[in-house]
Amino acid sequence: MITASDFEFDPPAMGDDEEDAGEKTVISVGNTMSKKIAEATKTPPTIVMLEGPAGYVGKLWTIDKSEMIIGRSMTSNVFVDDRSVSRSHTKLIMKDDTVWVMDLESSNKTVVNDDAIPPMTPVKLDDSDQIKVGNVLFKFQARGSLEAAALGKVQEKSEKDGLTGAFNKGTLMQKGAESFKRSKLLKVDMSILVFDIDFFKKINDNPQLGHPGGDFVLKELVKTIQTKLIRSDDFLGRYGGEEFVVILFGSNITQAAEIGERLRKTIEDHEFVYQGLKIPVTISVGVATKSPEMSTWEELFAVADQRLYMSKRNGRNRVTSEG
């Protein structure tokens, strides 16, 4: 819910110009509200989980396709890891700006505002309708919802690293586990790159650069990767400090090693200039691909991390994809 605290403004000045100052304040608040409303009109329809599995409550999904499946299958558009949810439980259907919900003959029904809907029969959703899928509860928010716009910003802040804009460690580990399961289920290749910045401590310890210089390098590195190297299906996360991970869904070891080398070369060739000082930056990369023997995401990550340290032991500024 949007409250008055979301709109911050200075109190009116006191004195001879009190009336003018008050008018200016009103104009400022009006402009702020108008801007927020204008931004909200661009917000697509969404659903947000109100009750469900730990780690998912509060998560928001954008309804950006004509049809989206909610279910326990890893192939679902809205994946819900809860036994009360059928593999393909419910379908969201969007036509123009109207969204409909349809139960897919699920075991535990789909309920809209306390009423179970008949199977295979689309039911139109209105803003703030609640949808119960098994034991999991969602709230629907129509296009242009101020609440959805605010929640989207909150979710982005909770998922992203505040300094670099890459996904944070918590989001990375959740995405990694989900991608690993999906890869096994669909029998699709999955690889990851684990890399960190060579001799990063020397940048922070340099009196001409210090930690602001180090922060600049981290932000510039992520910006460079996001604009030049990341494909639409790739996922970049900051694991911690100067260590990062790229999830490459659908890439085998050969493709991942090639991407790792492009990544290494791009960073080596990029000019990192902070307050007129050019900072030489290179990275060491470890590459791993999911194998049939692996049963968890953590195993895959451990192999890539081990190969990262092999790259560092063997001279840094290199990619290791085997061994």
Catalytic positions: 242
3-state secondary structure 102-118: EECCCCCCEEECCEECC
Neighbours of 34 (CB within 10 A): 10
Task: Specify the length of the chain in residues.
Answer: 323
Element (H, E) at 255: helix 253-269
Query: Left if phi > 0, otherwise alpha if psi is -120 to 50, otherwise beta: which for 131?
Result: beta
Beta-strand pair 136-141/130-133 = antiparallel
131: exposed, middle or buried (Cβ count in 10 Å: 0-12, 13-18, 19+): buried
C-alpha triplet 59, 65, 68: angle, nearest 5°: 65
